[in-house]
C-alpha cells in the first residue's frame, strides 16, 4: 500500500506567477484535503475534495483553487503569487467518512521571491 | 470561533525525563482529536485519535488522554529520537471534515 505522495518537493517562484502542486492519495482513499503551513505554525485548512467535488473551504482567497481527478489524485493551483504564500503545502488523504484519520504527504516547500 | 492551543511552545528534556504536553480546545461539534508528530521539513505523521472524554491511547513511550476541554500527550522516559514537533488537531464538520490545528509543541530530548 503506497502512502500519500506530493510533487514537486521544492519550488521557487516570483511574485505574480502561478503555481500548480500535485498530490496522489493513499490507495483506497477518495478524499483529499490541502493545508498551508507557515514556518513555526500549525497547518491551516485550505479546502477539501470528495469524489471530484469541493465540499468545504477555509479562509483562503479565490486565487487558491483545486481539482480532483477520477483516480482521486488532486492539484492545488495558486494564481498571482504573493510573498506570504511562501509555506509548506500539505496534502492529506482519507476515506471521507466522519472521524476518519487524514494521512499526510511529505509536503511541497514553496518559496516566493 | 474554533480554537486549539498547545502548551508549552517548546520543551527541552533530558533523556529519560518524563513530561506532558497540553492541548486545549474550544470547538463546536468535536468529532475527534488527533495527535501528529512532525519532523523538520516533513509532513505530519499520525499518532493517535481520541473520540470521547476519558479515552486513552498508548504507543511505545507515548500516551494520549482526552477530557471535555483538553488532551494531554504524556511521554515516558523519552529518547533523543522522540525529538520532534507534536501537533494536536480537532476534527470539525463544516461541509468538509476539516482539521483545526494548534501551533505545535517543539520537543527536544538531550542525550
List Cα–Cα distances, B25 to A76, B32, B33, B91, B108, in angstroms: 29, 11, 9, 11, 24
A58 touches chain B (CB under 8 A): yes
The per-residue pLDDT for A1 is 56
Residue written as cell 490541502? A34
- A99 vs chain B: nearest CA distance in angstroms? 6
Mean pLDDT of A60-81: 96
Q: Is the pLDDT of residue A53 over 70?
A: yes
Q: Is the pLDDT of residue B101 over 90?
A: yes
> Cβ of A57 and B31 within 8 Å?
no
CA angle centred on A81, ends A41 and B42, rounded to 5°: 35
Nearest to B43 among A40, A56, A105 (CB): A105
The per-residue pLDDT for B29 is 72
- B92 pLDDT band (50/70/90 cuts)? confident
Q: Report which of B30, B36, B29 is spatially closest to residue B51, judged by C-alpha positions.
A: B30
Average of per-residue pLDDT values in chain A:
94
Mutate to test the interface with A, among B5, B42, B98 (most CBs of A within 10 A): B98
Q: What is the pLDDT of residues B10-68, one digit of tens each?
A: 999 999 999 999 999 998 777 899 999 999 989 999 999 999 999 999 999 999 999 98
Amino acid at each position: 500500500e503506497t502512502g500519500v505522495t506530493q510533487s514537486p518537493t521544492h519550488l521557487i517562484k516570483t511574485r505574480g506567477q502561478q503555481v500548480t502542486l500535485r498530490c496522489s492519495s493513499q490507495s483506497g482513499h477518495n478524499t483529499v484535503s490541502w493545508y498551508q503551513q507557515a514556518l513555526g505554525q500549525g497547518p491551516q485548512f485550505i479546502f477539501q475534495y470528495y469524489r471530484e467535488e469541493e465540499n468545504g473551504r477555509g479562509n483562503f482567497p479565490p486565487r487558491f483553487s483545486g481539482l480532483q481527478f477520477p483516480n482521486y489524485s488532486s492539484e492545488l493551483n495558486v494564481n498571482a503569487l504573493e510573498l506570504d504564500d511562501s509555506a509548506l503545502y500539505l496534502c492529506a488523504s482519507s476515506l471521507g467518512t466522519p472521524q476518519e484519520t487524514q494521512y499526510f504527504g511529505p509536503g511541497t516547500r514553496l518559496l516566493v521571491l | 470561533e474554533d480554537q486549539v492551543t498547545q502548551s508549552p511552545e517548546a520543551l527541552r528534556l533530558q533523556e529519560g525525563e518524563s513530561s506532558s504536553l497540553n492541548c486545549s480546545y474550544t470547538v463546536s461539534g468535536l468529532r475527534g482529536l488527533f495527535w501528529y508528530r512532525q519532523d523538520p521539513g516533513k509532513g505530519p505523521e499520525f499518532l493517535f485519535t481520541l473520540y470521547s472524554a476519558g479515552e486513552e491511547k498508548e504507543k511505545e513511550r507515548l500516551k494520549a488522554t482526552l477530557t471535555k476541554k483538553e488532551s494531554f500527550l504524556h511521554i515516558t522516559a523519552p529518547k533523543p529520537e522522540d525529538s520532534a514537533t507534536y501537533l494536536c488537531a480537532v476534527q470539525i464538520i463544516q461541509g468538509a471534515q476539516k482539521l483545526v490545528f494548534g501551533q505545535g509543541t517543539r520537543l527536544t530530548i538531550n542525550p
